[in-house]
């Protein structure tokens, strides 16, 4: 018992040390970027509408804080809805495709076909279907997230060692049990690959939706700031946006750490 606790502790401190080191380097690179940025403006004397000083960006974010928070909320809702819907549909479809060759033949070609159309090209159609606002944003997000999740889930489910199935069958396991206890857990690492790619794409999807069919959200603020040549606000919103996207990505990564601590990709700190 005591040994177990000690192991846990040492694991924890290894993680904690990793975290501090990461934070330090992140802070350092941020400082370097800011200093270079300030120096660039000072030395070359760029006008504020091309490249505002870092401080002007900070002030702009503070000035527009209420609006930014409100619209960031709208964007987040679109990202979440589109993403969750994509997961809810993509995973079962991937499972069906792996289980049944008929379903694969039926669904895979149209799936690939929709993927070959650039998502932005479908946006005008979505406006006709869903109108101006949240629904269109969610639809674009859904569509852009869907494919990577399907593909990586399929790859994960298929990558089971054939000998393992042989072993399970020699133990008399029905295929449902093989699926639940062997195939599915074995597919999780690959599935998380798709979920992480999709988490980054989800933000792109929501922004695309906001550019074309919305009067709210960070994408809309970006457009209007651009129209007003308010470059400081543009930079501010971009920074807020990237922070949002990072939080989302790391949330998925945290979920991955919790669900598959046993996988190779998660062991670096433990060893």
Partner 1 sequence: MPADIIQTSASTSSKSADALIEIDGVGKTFTGQDGENIIALEDTDLKIGRGEFLSIVGPSGCGKSTLLNLVAGLLETTRGEIRIDGEQVNGPYTDLGFAFQSDLLLDWRTVLRNVLLQCDMRGMDSKQHTGRARKLLKSVGLEGFEDKRPFELSGGMRQRVALCRALLLDPPMLLMDEPFGALDALTREQMQSDLLDMWQETQKTVLFITHSISEAVYLSDRIVVMSARPGKVREIIDVDIDRPRDLSVRDSAEFGAIVHRVRLLFQEMGVIH
Pick the closer one to partner 1 by CB: 54 or 186: 186
Pick the closer one to partner 1 by CB: 57 or 178: 178
DSSP 107-157: HHHHHHHHHHS-HHHHHHHHHHHH-SSHHHHHHHHHHHHHHHHHHHHHHHH
Q: What token pair was written down for 83? A: 């993403």
Q: How many CB atoms lie within 10 A of CB 260?
A: 16
Pick the closer one to partner 1 by CB: 29 or 166: 166
Pick the closer one to partner 1 by CB: 110 or 174: 174
Pick the closer one to partner 1 by CB: 49 or 177: 177
> Distance from CA of residue 138 to its chain's centroid?
14
Orientation of helix 218-227 relative to helix 184-213, angle to 10°: 30
CB 132 within 8 A of CB 215: yes
CB 145 within 8 A of CB 91: no
- Nearest distance, CB of residue 186 and partner 1, angstroms: 8
- Nearest distance, CB of residue 111 and partner 1, angstroms: 24
Closest CA to 145 of 212, 218, 194: 194
- Nearest distance, CB of residue 4 and partner 1, angstroms: 8
- Nearest distance, CB of residue 172 and partner 1, angstroms: 4
Pick the closer one to partner 1 by CB: 23 or 167: 167
- Nearest distance, CB of residue 118 and partner 1, angstroms: 36
CA distance to 28, 77, 193, per residue, from 22 (Å): 10, 29, 22
Which residues in this chain contact partner 1 in the complex, by CB under 8 A? 4, 161, 163-164, 166-173, 177-178, 181-182, 185-186, 260, 262-264, 267
Instruction: Count CA within 13 A, CB hemisphere, residue 30.
Output: 9
139: left (phi over 0), alpha (psi -120 to 50) or beta: alpha
Please tell me whether residue 223 adopts helix, strand or coil conformation: helix
- Nearest distance, CB of residue 262 and partner 1, angstroms: 5
Dihedral pair phi/psi, residue 51, rounded to 5°: -140, 95
- Nearest distance, CB of residue 8 and partner 1, angstroms: 12
Pick the closer one to partner 1 by CB: 113 or 258: 258
């Amino acid at each position: 018992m005591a040994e177990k606790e000690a192991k846990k502790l040492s694991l924890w401190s290894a993680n904690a040390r990793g975290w501090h080191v990461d934070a330090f380097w992140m802070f350092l690179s941020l400082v370097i970027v800011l200093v270079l940025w300030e120096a660039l403006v000072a030395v070359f004397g760029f006008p504020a509408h091309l490249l505002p000083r870092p401080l002007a960006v900070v002030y702009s974010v503070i000035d527009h804080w209420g609006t930014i928070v409100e619209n960031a909320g709208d964007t987040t809702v679109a990202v979440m809805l589109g993403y969750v819907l994509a997961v809810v549909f993509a995973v079962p479809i991937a499972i069906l495709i792996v289980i049944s060759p008929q379903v694969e033949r039926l669904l895979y070609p149209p799936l690939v076909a929709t993927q070959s159309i650039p998502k932005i090209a479908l946006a005008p159609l979505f406006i006709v279907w869903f109108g101006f606002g949240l629904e269109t944003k969610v639809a674009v997000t859904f569509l852009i997230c869907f494919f990577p999740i399907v593909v990586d889930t399929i790859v994960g489910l298929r990558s089971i060692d054939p000998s393992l199935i042989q072993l399970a069958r020699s133990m008399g396991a029905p295929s449902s049990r093989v699926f639940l206890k062997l195939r599915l857990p074995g597919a999780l690492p690959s599935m998380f690959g798709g979920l992480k790619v999709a988490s980054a794409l989800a933000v792109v999807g929501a922004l695309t939706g906001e550019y074309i069919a919305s009067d709210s959200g960070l994408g809309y603020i970006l457009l209007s700031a651009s129209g007003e040549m308010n470059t400081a606000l543009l930079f501010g919103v971009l920074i807020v946006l990237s922070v949002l996207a990072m939080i989302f990505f790391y949330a998925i990564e945290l979920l991955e750490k919790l669900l598959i601590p046993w996988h190779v990709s998660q062991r670096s700190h433990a060893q």
